Amino acid sequence: MKTNWIILFVSFISLSCATYRNNKSSNQEYKHGAVVTAHPIASQVGVDILKKGGNAIDAAIAVKFALAVVYPNAGNLGGGGFMVYRSQSGELSSLDFREKAPAAATRDMYLDTDGNPIIELSLRGQLASGVPGTAAGMDAAFKKYGSLPWTDLLQPAIDLAAKGFPITAQQAKEFNELQEDFKKLNPNGAAIIRENIWRKGDLFKQEELAQTLKRIAEKGRDGFYKGETADLIVAEMQRGNGLITHQDLENYQAVWRNPIVGYYKGHKVISMPPPSSGGVALLALLQSVEKYPLREWGFQSDSTVRVMVEAERRVYADRATHLGDPDFYRVPVAQLTDSLFNQKRMSKVSLKKATPSDEVKASKFLGYESEETTHFSIVDKNGNAVSLTTTINDSYGSYVWVDGAGFLLNNEMDDFSVKPGTPNLYGLLGGKANAIEPGKRMLSAMTPTIIEKDGKLKMVVGTPGGSTIITSVFQTILNILEFDMTAQESVSAPRFHHQWKPDRIDVEAKAIDPHIRKSLEKDGYSIRQRGNMGRVENIVVLPNGKLQAGADHRGDDTAKGY
């Protein structure tokens, strides 16, 4: 009887695993190069650049500007992001082109006279926007690593904006649903605003955006931060209650930083340092679970889920207290990414019951005080790799289109701690380390990551998803390294998430078997089912040298290569 039960259980688990396997696209393998993005047109733009002889950075620049046209809700000129780069020879670098607070920003700018947050002010309208970093970031990447002419990298985006492109069904749905919101904040109109209903396949032309892109093509970063485009941005600020000035724009600089580097079971993990919290948190999570037999326990087994959730609970508590812009705050990176420290934090974890989040406090160190984003992964024929995550924070950012320039502004100011202890758009808490200060970069969860094995490229991964970014990348890495999934299976697998507070496990519909959910709830874990988490883009280098690409089925994400 016991044997029959085991056979039935194994069969059930096999069937459960089959539900997330996308057999149609689970074996996308390419010999010379691979590009995985949130939109099929952007992916094709990247591949075309690689075929012309461009390297991974060239393709990344072309993809980034193409996404500004075909994926306006996140891949926009009015935002910023982070890039992690690994050359074929193993050279590592990371680029911070995160948005910054305007010089006139103040710590209490979103509080009322009683000191309470006025939530709408940091989410909608001109005041919600930080100084954009995208154009400066791509300019810096090109000057350091680009090989093809700059204008060649902008031309695909210019053509897409001027001639238009057919929108997807998902885009048509979003465009229609948000028409009234756009009209309220854009009285002079915008390309996305129309009287007729948008339908799948309709051409979306953006003439003003095409002109903005042409100015960047002709003058590089000065085509955005000076001259006509800068004038249009400042005029937009003055139409509302925005703070960005000509001086803010001219002063903006992207920054090259040293990547966060650590290890997990013989794999070298390379990710983004602060002001992204992603790299620090990812390494801490991997270190926290490294000593546990996850492979033996299995994918989303009872014990696996408990250990991962308890690690997430502790790491997010530290994130809320200790992480911020390193140019303004002394971030204890070395302590937070120390494997002995993280394993010691897990030593008191019980697999028999949940640890209430109120009992988990941020660590103390001496001397220390959107969900709509988009990610793409690229590997070229020589093995150069780019992992780049970019955002305007919430889907469609502040909902403000720069009149005359044709692009959306971010609402990244909400990623600061508007008031310490008050959650942001994604429920994330923050403290003094992430308080608003002029010229400061707001904390982010973006986690662009590259993994090596034995000195060779192994994986390029990242995702959007607000607070769930870190845990989505964490799970995808474990899916490959512990549970032997293909690239596509790793991104299609159902996901769960815990972020310390609120004290609950958020789960996708197919995540965590119902019987295991009941076991967890019995032992004090609160579980809430929600919609999709993230849209992971993953490239895995196979032993034969081929590139296996996985594009998340949760959106229009597409893997292409040659």
- Mean pLDDT across 237-249: 96
pLDDT reported for residue 15: 41
pLDDT reported for residue 368: 32
Model pLDDT for residues 144-188, shown as the tens digit of each residue: 999 999 999 999 999 999 999 999 999 999 999 999 999 999 999
Model pLDDT for residues 442-457, shown as the tens digit of each residue: 988 899 999 999 999 9
What is the Cα–Cα distance from 250 to 244, expressed in whole angstroms? 11
pLDDT reported for residue 532: 92
State which of 10-24, 328-342, 352-366, 383-397 shows the largest mean pLDDT. Answer: 383-397
Q: Indicate the residue type of 461.
A: V
Confidence of residue 467 (pLDDT cuts 50, 70, 90): confident
pLDDT reported for residue 483: 97
Q: Which of 37, 373, 389, 390 is catalytic?
A: 373
Alpha helices in 380-436 (DSSP H): none
pLDDT over threshold 50, residue 479: yes
CA distances for 126 relative to 71, 244, 271, 475, angstroms: 21, 9, 32, 36
Residue 117 phi, psi dihedral angles, 5° rounding: -65, 135
The full 3-state SS of 34-62, as one line of letters, equals EEEECCHHHHHHHHHHHHCCCCHHHHHHH
Longest CA–CA separation in the chain, Å: 79
Exposure of 348 in the CB half-sphere (CA atoms within 13 A): 8
pLDDT over threshold 50, residue 372: yes
**Residue 373 catalytic?**
yes
Residue 99 phi, psi dihedral angles, 5° rounding: -65, 160
Q: What is the residue whose two structure tokens read 């009322």?
A: 112
pLDDT reported for residue 421: 55
Neighbours of 149 (CB within 10 A): 13
Exposure of 488 in the CB half-sphere (CA atoms within 13 A): 19
Give the DSSP H or E segment for 203. strand 203-204
Grouping H, G, I as helix, E, B as strand and the rest as coil, residue 551 is strand
- Mean pLDDT across 503-518: 95
Residue 29 phi, psi dihedral angles, 5° rounding: -130, 140
Q: Indicate the residue type of 249.
A: L
CA distances for 558 relative to 149, 204, 535, 546, 562, angstroms: 26, 20, 11, 18, 14
Model pLDDT for residues 102-129, shown as the tens digit of each residue: 999 998 898 889 888 888 898 899 999 9
Neighbours of 120 (CB within 10 A): 11
The full set of domain ranges for the chain reads: 43-256+395-409
Residue-wise DSSP of 440-494: PBPPB----EEEEETTEEEEEEE---GGGHHHHHHHHHHHHHTT---HHHHHHS-
Confidence of residue 430 (pLDDT cuts 50, 70, 90): very low
Structure-token pair, residue 307: 């250990």
pLDDT reported for residue 349: 85
pLDDT over threshold 90, residue 210: yes
